[in-house]
Structure 1
Amino acid sequence: MRIVLALGGNALLARGQALTAENQRKNIIQSAASIAAIAKEHEIVVVHGNGPQVGLLMEQNSAYQEYSPETTPYPMDVLGSQTCGMVGYMLQQELRNVDDSLAIATLVTQTEVSKSDPAFANPTKFVGPVYTAERAEEIMASSPLMFKPDGEYYRRVVPSPMPKDIVELQQIETLLKAGNLVIACGGGGVPVSIEDRKSTGVECVIDKDLTAELLAEKLDADLFIILTDGSIYRNYGKEDQAEMKQATPAGLSEFTFPAGSMGPKIDAVCKFVETGRGNSAIGSLFDLDKILKNEAGTLVTQGEGIIYY
């Protein structure tokens, strides 16, 4: 079975956790164990997030400029490509440490976007560390940066346009056919605009779940899985919250999910199911083997209605 796995940046660095290489390494070691356990039986493409990682690089760029004003911060497309190497390297290394017989390839991947996408007028993509409301207000008062609530914290938001195409699709397919577990489209891919057959970087971050869905379509995947904190819930965080075992695009359309977190994930899994290529699922990284058996997470299929645990 050909499976596209979307691995959340927050699964690599837990919410509120210090953005250290050591913490990221510890989480990736756990991630690698879950992914390696199914890699021998399936064709796997991993699309990882980069919200915390690219945000950290942005903060470091800004801090460096205070000491060297002539050193302007690197643009977001370049920072995004750096996270592809950083996270891809750690994943690739730890996957081989679990099973050195695995063939693994990390590919820095460009994703085409449109400069006229309406997302540039309404930033919603969370990047970087978490802040208190008071600290976020202080930063916004003295800079053009924008922050929005993310749970009980605040985080910076940047534009997140829709992915149009994946430039290195042919290379990903070639690597898969050669027996590789492929790590591609990291952070949603490096955002580029293509005009007159020339590619240029764009200042934004693409939602990795939407890019992963597009990749799943173009690769004719059998299953598309978003690995995050857990399942889809009805009325999450409220007294009557309920965990969904199986859902459909029609059933999920009756609920409203946060635009900056679960909303794009729901949109992505529903979009893939509606293409008729296969099923989707959302669940915890550490339940990956159970998700494949519909024993954990939320399976999204065609049809109507919702089944709860």
Structure 2
Amino acid sequence: MRIVIALGGNALLRRGERPDADVQLANIDRVATVIAALAYDHEVVLTHGNGPQIGLLALESASDPALSAPYPLDLLGAQTQGMIGSLLVRSLHDTLPGHPIAALVTHTLVRADDPAFRQPTKYVGQVYPLEVARSLARKRGWHIAQDTTGWRRVVASPAPERIVETNTIHQLLSGGTLVICAGGGGVPVTADRDTGALSGVEAVVDKDLTAALLAEDLKADFLLILTDVPNVYADFGTPKQRPVLDATPAELRRAGFPAGSMGPKAEAAARFVERTGGLAAIGALDAAYEIVHGRSGTLVRPALPAA
């Protein structure tokens, strides 16, 4: 079975942890153990988030007196792909001895006229108290919005249209390689209408929606979205909160999950199932093996045909 796995940002940095290198190194072994358990029996394509990492790099770049202007988000995204990809390759190399593994810097085509450029919604970086967030917004020209635990920077998140390196990923998979790609949703680029030349844009593509597109293009059987909760919850955070263990795409959409948290994950799972007839699931990182085997998480399946 071919499985596309989308790792949440908690894979390298759990909520509240400092974004230090040694913290991420300590967490990466846990990730490798989870992935290895699936890679022994299945073809695996691995994607990952980069919110904390790109937020940290953006802050450092904006504060660097040696620069006349901060590095744009597309280049910072490429840097995070290289760093996180390297960490994953090293750890998986030890966990899956003899298994070919490759991390590929991946570009995601977006539309230059995507409405998301006028309304930033994608959280990046750390959580701040309101006054600190307002001060940084004034100083750096940021947009900010309230997250579940505080205030964070938000940036444009255009919809992924196409993954530029899809054919290369196909070739790697055909040789038995475990591919790490589309990290952070891929480096966002637009294509010139006449020449096709690629240009980076100031944005971060949602990694779950990119993972759904990638899984569709690779003809994957299963899209596995791993996060820091055991399953999707209806009426989350209210006295009526209850786990959703099984849902069709339509049922998942009707639940109306928040855009800043579970919403993109639910939409990504729904899109993949609708477009391919395959299966998707959302659940906790440490339960990945159990999720694939139907013993944990929220399973998203095609609707049964009408009688």
Taking structure 1 as the reference length, the TM-score comes to 0.94
Partner of 1:74: 71
Look up the equivalent residue of 1:71 and give its one-letter code. Answer: S
Please provide the CA RMSD for this pair: 1.2
**Whole-Å separation in 2 of the counterparts to 1:134 and 1:258:** 24
**2:207 paired with 1:204:** no
Q: Which moved more, 1:140-149 or 1:274-283?
A: 140-149
CA offsets, 1:118-176, max 9 Å, x none?
00111111101111123212323444211111112111100000011111111000000
Q: What's 2:83 paired with?
A: 86
Q: Distance in 2 between matches of 1:245 and 1:134?
A: 40
Tell me the CA shift for residue 63 of structure 1: 1.7
Partner AA of 1:107 in structure 2: L
1:186 aligns with 2:193: no
Contact persistence 2:2–2:42 (CA under 8 A) = yes
Q: 1: CA distance between counterparts of 2:226 and 2:126?
A: 20
Q: Distance in 2 between matches of 1:206 and 1:254?
A: 24
Q: Percent identity?
A: 48
1:14 shift after superposition: 1.1
Aligned to 1:127: 124
Equivalent residue for 1:221? 220
Q: How does 1:1-309 map to 2 (within 5 A)?
A: 1-65=1-65, 68=66, 70-195=67-192, 196-230=195-229, 231-303=231-303
Q: Which amino acid aligns with 2:86?
A: Y
Counterparts of 2:168 and 2:277 in 1: how far apart (Å)?
Answer: 21
Structure 1: tracts of 5 or more residues without a match: 305-309
Structure 2 distance, partners of 1:234, 1:87, is 32
Give the match's secondary structure for 1:5.
Answer: strand
Shift of residue 256, structure 1, vs aligned partner: 1.5
Unaligned residue ranges in structure 2 (runs of 5+)? none
SS at match of 1:200: strand
List per-residue Cα deviations over 1:33-78 (Å, max 9, x = no partner). 000111011010001111111111001111213xx3x532111111
After TM superposition, the structure 1 stretch with the greater mean CA deviation from structure 2, 219-228 or 254-263, is 254-263
Aligned length: 301
Distance 1:61 1:142, change over 3 A: closer
Q: Aligned letter for 1:120?
A: F
Q: Give the counterpart letter for 2:227 in structure 1.
A: T
Runs of 4+ in 1 over 6 A off after TM superposition: none
8 Å contact kept, 1:110–1:167: yes
TM-score normalised to the size of structure 2?
Answer: 0.95
CA–CA distance in structure 2, aligned partners of residues 223 and 120 of structure 1: 31
